[in-house]
Homo-oligomer: A and B are copies of this chain.
Amino acid sequence: MKHLQILKSQVELDLKDYKMIGEPTVNQTRKLKDLTGIFQDDNAFSEIDLEQMAYTVQTWLPVSEGTPSGLFFGVSTIYPGKVGNEYFMTKGHFHAQSDRAEFYWGVQGKGMLILMNRDRYTWAEEVYPGSLHYIGGEIAHRLANTGDEKLIVGACWPSDAGHDYEEIAVNGFSARLVEMDGKPKLI
């Protein structure tokens, strides 16, 4: 019984790097070897150290995955680097319950939020400390690190959104974010 009690929340956030401290958080790591097939340059990919870290995702799931009307809170950290001229990036996904939205906000570093709608139009939004991004339903999303330090992004999304990685794994995005003349460009 917690009536009249003053408690601490179970999870605490370091506001500088968004590391979450507390019991019910889940940590996922993706090394380059987990991203086979998502970069264009096979030669460059074959020559790179596949054990190096590509990104991590830390999530607080206060309710179980699939619960209607709940929310999750997460932090994505994308490491700096390129495969050929293509920046390190996340796999990217639509939501399984595909109309579910999501908020992202930049915390540290520099990158791009690559977005694609169901008509396969692809565009991007610049991610930097304080950039705030609304990702509407039916929009695939992927983060790329275009800078020299870690890109750290906060996120909040519905607990019944789920992830549909399959569509992107099979068909990809309709454009790639590459470095041209020292600047990121969608081609």
Contacts and interface: CB of A to CB of B under 8 A. Distances in A.
Interface of A: 1-9, 11-15, 20, 22, 60, 62-63, 68-71, 73, 97, 99-103, 105, 107, 112, 121-126, 129-134, 136-137, 156-159, 174-175, 184-187
B2 A60 contact: no
A105 B22 CA distance: 14
Contacts of A102: 71
Contact of A7 (B22, B123, B158): B123
Copies of this polypeptide in the complex? 2
A136 B71 CA distance: 9
6 contacts: A6-B125, A8-B131, A9-B126, A20-B132, A70-B137, A73-B156
Contact of A5 (B100, B123, B130, B156): B123
Contacts of A1: 121
A100 to B, nearest CB: 5
B132 A11 contact: yes
A70 B136 contact: yes
B125 A187 contact: no
Contacts of A20: 132
B3 A124 contact: no
Nearest to A71: B101
Contacts of A13: 105, 130-132
